[in-house]
Amino acid sequence: MDVDLSFYTNEIKKTLDEWEQPLLSLSEEIITNRYNHQNRTIKQLLGHLIDSASNNHQRMTRMQYNSHLIFPDYTQDNDRWIAIQDYQHADWKNLVLLWKSYNLHIIHVIKSMDNSMLNNHWIDFEGNQVSLLVMIEGYPLHLNLHMSEIKSLMMEGVML
């Protein structure tokens, strides 16, 4: 299978370039005191995106040497991950830099990927098969979904 994955890596990079400086410029009040519909702050949302990068990095790597993989699905536990890692009290600059660096590494992993492995899949907690290609296609969408939530929280104070 010869698939050009550059659209997805470019989307991830575009998001990083667009958001790094605006995130770093946010005040402590904005990142810790505004909550979305899931009762998450901007810090916690970015922490969730770091967890997403971590989990997807594992899947992207392991699925290149396993044709199918049963991997814990953290969807059910992501609030626990956020709480256990205490993103709410983490250093903001470090979180932003970790988010950026992890995603730059994911771009590297995707660019280095053997396309013949794109049909390999993992099985989620509901028993669904998710191919490596489908996972890569969905990653920028998930990233941008949560960045739009962050944008809404940033704008919340402007609208008051």
Instruction: Specify the higher pLDDT residue, 157 or 89.
Output: 89
Domain, as residue range, for 39: 6-156
Whether the per-residue pLDDT at 146 is higher than 60: the answer is: yes
pLDDT category, 1, cuts 50, 70, 90?
A: low
Residues 91 and 47: beta-carbon distance below 8 Å: no
Distance of alpha carbon 128 from alpha carbon 35, whole angstroms: 31
CA 46 to each of CA 72, 86, 98: distance values in angstroms, whole numbers, following the listed order: 21, 12, 10
CATH number at residue 109: 1.20.120.450
Structure tokens at 109: 């992993």
**What single string gives the DSSP state of each residue in 8-73?**
HHHHHHHHHHHHHHHHHT--HHHHHH---TTS--HHHHHHHHHHHHHHHHHHHHHTTT-SEEE---
Q: Residue 77: inside a domain, yes or no?
A: yes
160: confidence class by pLDDT, cuts 50, 70, 90: very low
Kindly state whether residue 41 falls inside one of the protein's structural domains: yes
What are 130's strand-pairing partners? 122
**Would you say residue 152 lies in a domain?**
yes
pLDDT in the model for residue 158: 53
Q: Smallest Cα–Cα separation from 20: which of 160, 147, 157, 153?
A: 147
Question: Does residue 70 form part of some domain?
Answer: yes
| Residue 1 belongs to some domain of the structure | no
Question: Residues 6 or more apart from 62 whose CB is under 8 A from it?
Answer: 69, 71, 122
Cα 53 versus chain centre, distance: 4
What's the domain count of the chain? Answer: 1
Q: Dmax of the chain from CA atoms?
A: 52
Considering the domain boundaries, does residue 60 fall inside one? yes
Range scoring the smallest mean pLDDT among 9-18, 117-126, 142-151: 117-126
What confidence tens digit (pLDDT) does each residue in 32-88 have? 998 888 889 999 999 999 999 999 999 999 999 988 888 776 667 888 899 999 999
